[in-house]
């Protein structure tokens, strides 16, 4: 089984690669893999600001892993990889809402044109199996008393980021209906855990506190998100690519709805800090009020549900950032980009 993982040097992609290689280790004389699939992974990543090879430093020497530095919009490169691939798991995306508000161009290019390039190549190289990673943000914003998003919720994106992801979802579905490409899609809630880029909400709070800085909170801090520990997300994707029904979409949630203020206060308490370290800042334009996922379909059809409570996941996440200061300090300082620009060239860095 040969997998092409796009964006595998990013947060969720790197966790997924590590999850798969741990669950399905390479067959050798001392380990038969219990008869399971023997995965060979190609990780295609351009190493833009959020892609960091340090995320996979511990598996660089794994015989079943190969890194390819490149752009999903590069059709020639993608076509050169596709003949040896059985399954594509497409994580690569620009994903930070604030950045999409400041400049949406990269979001249109990567999330729409990049997805189209992969789909065309998959179609023209033997209808390769294609799993597309999407987000709950394509569904828009919920009021506090509205029912949760599910697979039948109409799309209503409200930022350039979510609009670009919505467009990519629609493209993936058209390649199933029009060309018979064997696809599945998953829409997940907010992920958190190890290796998450420190501009994101939870690692930003943790790392700012470790640096004795204030933690910024948009508006009144009462926007609600459903939080999913990244390893639980990886387990759900694993089930979908093995047992999911072709052409179907699966919503993946964490059953952990929290306001941003609650999250900040929980982290402050766990890190023995005071609430006066919160700094309220002007709200984000078009800030969605609430996201919530009804994951009953994947629970009923594939027997998946999150295994990590928010309390346990948050504690593990805090400990990881405490124990890996060089990782996040190099990112916050920009040193990681300087180092990998020398190794891989300026493209993407």
> Which residues are marked as active site?
136-137, 161
Contact present, 251 and 209 (Cβ < 8 Å): no
DSSP annotation string for 150-169: -TTPPP---SHHHHHHHHHH
Between the CA of residue 261 and those of 188, 221, 255, 348, what are the distances in Å? 22, 5, 18, 35
Contact between 222 and 286 (Cβ < 8 Å)? no
Q: What is the DSSP letter of 340?
A: H
Neighbours of 144 (CB within 10 A): 11
Q: CA–CA separation, 288 vs 290, rounded Å?
A: 6
Query: Rounded CA gap, 78 and 74, in Å?
Result: 6
Residue identified by tokens 């880029």 is 197
The answer to whether 226 and 293 have CB atoms below 8 angstroms apart is: yes
Nearest to 93 by CA among 151, 134, 55: 134
Is the Cβ–Cβ distance between 316 and 212 less than 8 Å? Answer: no
With contact defined as beta carbons under 8 Å apart, do 137 and 159 qualify?
A: yes
> Is 92 within 8 Å of 133 (Cβ atoms)?
no
In contact, 213 and 278? CB cutoff 8 Å? no
Whole-angstrom Cα distance, residue 162 to residue 153? 15
Query: Six-digit token pair at 325?
Result: 């200061």
Closest among 210, 193, 211 to 202, alpha carbons compared: 193
Contact 155, 166 (CB under 8 A): yes
> 93 and 161 in contact (C-beta within 8 Å)?
no
């Amino acid at each position: 089984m040969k997998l092409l993982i796009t964006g595998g040097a990013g947060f969720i992609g790197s966790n997924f690669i590590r999850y798969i290689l741990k669950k399905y280790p390479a067959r050798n004389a001392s380990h038969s893999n219990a008869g399971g699939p023997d995965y060979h992974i190609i990780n295609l990543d351009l190493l833009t600001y959020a892609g960091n090879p340090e995320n996979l430093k511990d598996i660089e020497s794994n015989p079943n892993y190969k890194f390819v530095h490149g752009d999903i919009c590069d059709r020639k490169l993608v076509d050169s990889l596709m003949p040896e691939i059985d399954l594509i798991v497409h994580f690569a995306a620009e994903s930070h809402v604030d950045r999409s508000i400041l400049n949406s161009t990269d979001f249109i290019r990567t999330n729409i044109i990049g997805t189209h390039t992969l789909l065309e190549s998959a179609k023209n190289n033997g209808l390769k199996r294609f799993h597309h990673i999407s987000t709950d943000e394509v569904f828009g914003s919920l009021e506090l008393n509205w029912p949760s998003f599910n697979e039948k919720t109409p799309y209503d994106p409200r930022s350039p980021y979510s609009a670009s992801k919505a467009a990519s979802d629609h493209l993936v579905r058209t390649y199933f209906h029009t060309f018979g490409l064997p696809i599945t899609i998953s829409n997940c809630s907010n992920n958190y855990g190890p290796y998450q880029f420190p501009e994101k909400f939870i690692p930003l709070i943790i790392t700012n506190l470790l640096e004795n800085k204030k933690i910024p909170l948009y508006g009144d801090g009462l926007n609600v998100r459903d939080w999913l520990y990244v390893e639980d997300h990886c387990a759900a994707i694993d089930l979908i690519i093995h047992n999911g029904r072709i052409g179907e979409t699966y919503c993946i949630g964490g059953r952990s709805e929290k306001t941003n203020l609650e999250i900040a206060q929980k982290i402050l308490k766990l890190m023995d800090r005071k609430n006066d370290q919160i700094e309220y800042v002007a709200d984000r334009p078009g800030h969605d009020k609430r996201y919530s996922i009804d994951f009953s379909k994947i629970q009923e059809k594939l027997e998946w549900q999150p295994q990590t409570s928010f309390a346990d996941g948050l504690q593990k996440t805090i400990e990881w950032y405490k124990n890996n200061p060089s990782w996040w300090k190099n990112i916050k300082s920009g040193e990681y980009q300087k180092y990998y620009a020398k190794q891989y060239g300026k493209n993407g860095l």
